[in-house]
Chains A and B, each alone.
Chain A
Amino acid sequence: MSTVEQDFVHEPLGPRLRHQIATIARHAEDKRAACIDALKLVQKRFRFVSDVHLAEVAALLEMTPAELDGVATFYNLIFRRPVGRHVILLCDSVACWVMGGAAACAHLCERLSVKPGETTEDGRFTLLPIVCLGHCDHAPAMMVDEDLYGDLDAARLDDILRRFR
């Protein structure tokens, strides 16, 4: 298993997270309507949604694990496999493609020694292609975790990566 597999994924959700999820579910029109929010909360704490956590959330929302997994795997921003400490979402849509998005991708792959979809050896970064980030006037664009970066070129990419060293 790669280094990003952490011990705590086998920890239960814990009372605080369970309480948060239950609260959202209570305010939703029906319990399962809270499931995307719930999965995001789990992911915020554990970085991805493990099988154990998926089953626990499903039970809380009165869904079967299979039903919830069907939802979880549908959405681009819910991760069902371990990711690195920082997730790079690199836009691979048309405006970025015109502006050198493929070069940006090649550069990141070279610097991180990964292919798109993979996590670096040290578990620091996961590189994921993402659909248009709506930052087209500053293409090529990417996000690292929750921050948006535009006007990417080789020097700027290197500079951004250094901030996470």
Chain B
Amino acid sequence: MIETPLTATIQPDGKPLDVTGYERVGGYQAMRKALNMTPEAIIGEIKSSRLRGRGGAGFQTGRKWEAVPKRDEPPFLRYLIVNADEMEPGSFKDRLLLEKTPHQLIEGVIIGAFAIQAALAYIFVRGEYVLALERLAHAVVEAQARGYVGRDILGSGFSLTIHVHASGGRYICGEASALFSALEGRRAIPRARPPRSAVSGLWGKPSVVNNVETLCCVPPIIERGANWYLGLSHSVDGGTKLYGVSGRVKRPGLWELPFGTPLNEILFEHAGGMRAGYECRAVLPGGASTAFIVPENFDVRMDFASVQKIGSSLGTGNIVVLDQRRCPIGLLRNLEHFFAQESCGWCTPCRDGLPWVERILTAIEAGEGKAEDLELLIHHVSFLGPGCTFCDLAPGAMAPLGSGLKHFRSEFERHINEKACPWHDTKDAWT
């Protein structure tokens, strides 16, 4: 039987357990254990578990925590920030955890905050997640009433305040340094590194930003140990992962599976394969900023290193399926529209380059493309790639475009040669 530490306490009716119910299934035991450990021991355990960030970048969580000054080193004011700004198109995993198991997240926050000795934690939730915001706020109040949040938690001498912040809404807020700007009441514009956030983040203080799913992994690791967690995985990195599938599959949804489960198992067993009349052309493995994977590579294991080896990235592990009834150029235009709109406008290549890319794709889709447009797009892929812009938004936007130009070259050429979209009839179709 597969163990599912992230979703084990989720009830069949989807309603979150209240604090008593969560305690009854073993909740807050890991927090009690952690408060009797040293921060160094907690960080050591997380490092041994090889837990990597579940927001997309996949940084080792233990190393992120370790980079914060030790508890006897100034500055003593530090922050733990939960990135619950789930806005990567095609991703819906954090919503599940926020809405259905808020206490597990709060327990993870308490342990994480204790590990980095942060007295203040912010949970930064996208404004559209109304139900998640309600349930989180309620769970924080319950945890406070139990003495798990607040002054001198269970006599440990450690104090923690948790604030739940509803975002004003903008994709770039998910970028850690832009998130600091947003929390400070500014336009959410990313900041230059160095300094690293572990040294100077929110209000110039050492800060750690962790994804929701990452922090939800923490209580089970502390409770049952790094070795147990490592054993759950099919990869070198530890644990399980919430994989999701959307698109024309028989059963779209989310499943908690061993880390490194093969893509074809997720698509064809868990999601049930394609619906009748639909064929899978390609998938975006982990959101809008990941490169396409085509069927010949569907045996890839969905872990960071394996997906990288075939030229894409794991991202959020929430897969979007492109079927043969939709135009690949139209899909790319949709993605680039998103990125152009959500660019914060701070650096010129991103602010000017992405709308340019969108215009070219719109023209090609409408049958008004020219042969030299393809060269222009290829130029943009390198011009907006890693290292050319202030943050990772534009390079992320170029990942599907670069791979799309490779895998869908003939579809691009057909649009240009035939001066029309071969998928024109399905453009506004429901099916």
- A-side residues, CB < 8 A to B, are 28-30, 32-37, 39-40, 61, 70-71, 74-78, 89, 92-95, 97-100, 102-104, 106, 130-139, 143, 146-148, 153-154
Contacts and interface: CB of A to CB of B under 8 A. Distances in A.
A77 B168 contact: yes
What is the interface of chain A mostly: helix, strand, loop, or mixed? mixed
B170 A94 contact: no
B366 interface: no
Interface of B: 86-92, 94-95, 126-131, 165-171, 182-188, 203, 244-248, 252-254, 284, 288, 318, 320-323, 326, 330-331, 334-335, 337-338, 341-342, 344, 427-431
Q: Which of B87, B129, B131, B331 has most chain A Cβ within 10 Å?
A: B87
B94 A134 contact: yes
Contacts of B321: 98
A89 B126 CA distance: 14
Given A74-B187, A77-B168, A137-B254, A131 B334 contact: no
B92 A99 contact: no
A130 B168 contact: no
Contacts of B126: 134
A90 B416 CA distance: 31
Nearest to B130: A146
Nearest to B252: A137
Contact of B90 (A29, A95, A147): A95
Contacts of A98: 246-248, 320-323, 326, 331
Q: Which of A37, A39, A70, A102 has most chain B Cβ within 10 Å?
A: A102
B184 A135 contact: no
A130 B128 contact: yes
Contact of B185 (A33, A134, A138): A33
A131 B87 contact: yes
B431 A136 contact: no
Given A94-B90, A134-B94, A77 B131 contact: no
A71 B185 CA distance: 7
A94 B89 contact: yes
Contact of B334 (A61, A70, A97): A97
Nearest to B131: A148
17 contacts: A30-B185, A36-B168, A39-B168, A40-B127, A40-B166, A74-B168, A92-B338, A93-B288, A94-B288, A97-B334, A98-B331, A99-B247, A133-B128, A134-B91, A135-B92, A143-B128, A148-B131
Nearest to A107: B430
B184 A30 contact: yes
Contacts of A100: 429-431
Contacts of B130: 143, 146-148
B322 to A, nearest CB: 7
A32 B342 contact: no
Contacts of B330: 97
A71 B169 contact: no
Given A98-B246, A134-B86, A77 B127 contact: yes
Given A98-B248, A132-B90, A134-B129, A32 B169 contact: no
A74 to B, nearest CB: 4
Given A77-B169, A99-B246, A132 B91 contact: yes
A35 B284 contact: no
Contacts of A99: 246-248
Contacts of B183: 33
A40 B125 CA distance: 14
Nearest to B330: A97
Given A76-B169, A94-B320, A94-B334, 17 more contacts: A29-B203, A36-B168, A70-B187, A71-B185, A71-B187, A74-B188, A75-B169, A76-B168, A77-B168, A95-B247, A100-B431, A130-B128, A132-B87, A132-B90, A136-B91, A137-B245, A139-B246
Contacts of B427: 102
B95 A134 contact: yes
Contact of A33 (B184, B244, B318): B184
Nearest to B431: A100
Contacts of A153: 430
List the 9 closest A-B pairs by CB distance, nearest first. Answer: A75-B168, A136-B246, A77-B169, A76-B169, A93-B89, A137-B252, A32-B185, A132-B89, A95-B246
A32 B184 contact: yes
B92 A134 contact: yes
B318 A136 contact: yes
A162 to B, nearest CB: 19
Contacts of A39: 168
Nearest to A32: B185
A165 B185 CA distance: 37
B253 to A, nearest CB: 5
A91 B212 CA distance: 22
A95 B167 CA distance: 22
Q: Which of A95, A104, A153 has most chain B Cβ within 10 Å?
A: A95
Q: Which of A92, A97, A147 has most chain B Cβ within 10 Å?
A: A97
Contacts of A102: 427-428
Contacts of B338: 92-94, 131-132
A95 B188 CA distance: 25
Nearest to B94: A134
Nearest to B90: A95
Contacts of B429: 100, 103
Contacts of A89: 128
